[in-house]
Amino acid sequence: MMPWYKFTPNGLPKDPTDPNQYTLNGNVPSPCPGSNNTLCSIQADDNMGHPTITVALLCEIIWALENKINSVNVSLRP
Protein backbone atom coordinates (compact mmCIF):
# COMPACT_ATOMS: atom_id res chain seq x y z
CA MET A 1 0.00 0.00 0.00
CA MET A 2 1.29 3.45 -0.90
CA PRO A 3 1.20 6.26 1.67
CA TRP A 4 -1.04 9.33 1.45
CA TYR A 5 0.26 12.92 1.32
CA LYS A 6 -1.73 16.02 2.24
CA PHE A 7 -1.45 18.95 -0.19
CA THR A 8 0.04 21.75 1.94
CA PRO A 9 1.31 24.62 -0.27
CA ASN A 10 1.79 26.92 2.80
CA GLY A 11 1.33 30.25 1.02
CA LEU A 12 3.35 29.23 -2.01
CA PRO A 13 1.77 29.39 -5.45
CA LYS A 14 -0.26 26.17 -5.40
CA ASP A 15 1.46 23.61 -7.61
CA PRO A 16 0.21 20.00 -7.37
CA THR A 17 3.24 18.88 -9.43
CA ASP A 18 5.69 20.02 -6.71
CA PRO A 19 6.44 17.15 -4.27
CA ASN A 20 7.66 19.69 -1.70
CA GLN A 21 4.10 21.02 -1.34
CA TYR A 22 2.89 17.77 0.25
CA THR A 23 3.16 16.44 3.81
CA LEU A 24 3.32 12.71 4.52
CA ASN A 25 0.05 11.65 6.15
CA GLY A 26 0.32 7.87 6.50
CA ASN A 27 -1.98 5.09 5.33
CA VAL A 28 -5.25 7.05 5.11
CA PRO A 29 -6.25 10.17 3.16
CA SER A 30 -6.35 13.43 5.09
CA PRO A 31 -9.73 14.71 6.22
CA CYS A 32 -10.31 18.04 4.49
CA PRO A 33 -13.38 20.23 5.03
CA GLY A 34 -15.01 22.13 2.20
CA SER A 35 -16.31 21.38 -1.27
CA ASN A 36 -14.78 19.08 -3.91
CA ASN A 37 -13.14 21.98 -5.71
CA THR A 38 -9.56 21.74 -4.45
CA LEU A 39 -6.93 19.10 -3.98
CA CYS A 40 -6.72 17.58 -0.51
CA SER A 41 -4.37 14.59 -0.66
CA ILE A 42 -2.80 12.07 -2.99
CA GLN A 43 -1.60 8.48 -2.68
CA ALA A 44 1.83 7.91 -4.20
CA ASP A 45 5.11 6.06 -3.87
CA ASP A 46 7.42 7.59 -1.27
CA ASN A 47 10.60 9.45 -2.16
CA MET A 48 12.30 10.41 1.13
CA GLY A 49 9.09 11.70 2.72
CA HIS A 50 7.68 13.27 -0.43
CA PRO A 51 5.40 11.77 -3.11
CA THR A 52 6.67 10.54 -6.44
CA ILE A 53 4.36 12.34 -8.87
CA THR A 54 4.22 10.37 -12.11
CA VAL A 55 2.58 11.48 -15.34
CA ALA A 56 -0.22 8.99 -14.66
CA LEU A 57 -0.81 10.45 -11.18
CA LEU A 58 -0.75 14.01 -12.53
CA CYS A 59 -3.39 13.01 -15.11
CA GLU A 60 -5.46 11.48 -12.29
CA ILE A 61 -5.19 14.72 -10.26
CA ILE A 62 -6.34 16.77 -13.25
CA TRP A 63 -9.21 14.36 -13.97
CA ALA A 64 -10.39 14.43 -10.33
CA LEU A 65 -10.30 18.24 -10.20
CA GLU A 66 -12.10 18.64 -13.54
CA ASN A 67 -14.84 16.18 -12.56
CA LYS A 68 -14.97 17.28 -8.90
CA ILE A 69 -14.88 13.68 -7.63
CA ASN A 70 -12.32 11.58 -5.76
CA SER A 71 -10.38 8.88 -7.56
CA VAL A 72 -8.35 5.90 -6.39
CA ASN A 73 -5.24 7.97 -5.62
CA VAL A 74 -6.67 11.48 -5.31
CA SER A 75 -8.82 12.88 -2.52
CA LEU A 76 -10.51 16.24 -2.88
CA ARG A 77 -11.86 18.39 -0.09
CA PRO A 78 -15.17 16.66 0.78
Contact 58, 52 (CB under 8 A): no
Domain count, the chain: 1
| Residue 65 burial class via C-beta count within 10 angstroms: exposed 0-12, middle 13-18, buried 19 and up | middle
| Edge-to-edge strand ranges of the sheet holding 39-43 | 22-26, 4-7, 39-43, 74-76
What string of pLDDT tens digits covers the 78 residues of the chain?
Answer: 899 999 999 887 889 999 999 999 999 887 887 767 789 999 999 999 999 999 999 999 999 999 999 999 999 986
> Which domain covers residue 37, as residue numbers?
4-76
pTM over 0.85: yes
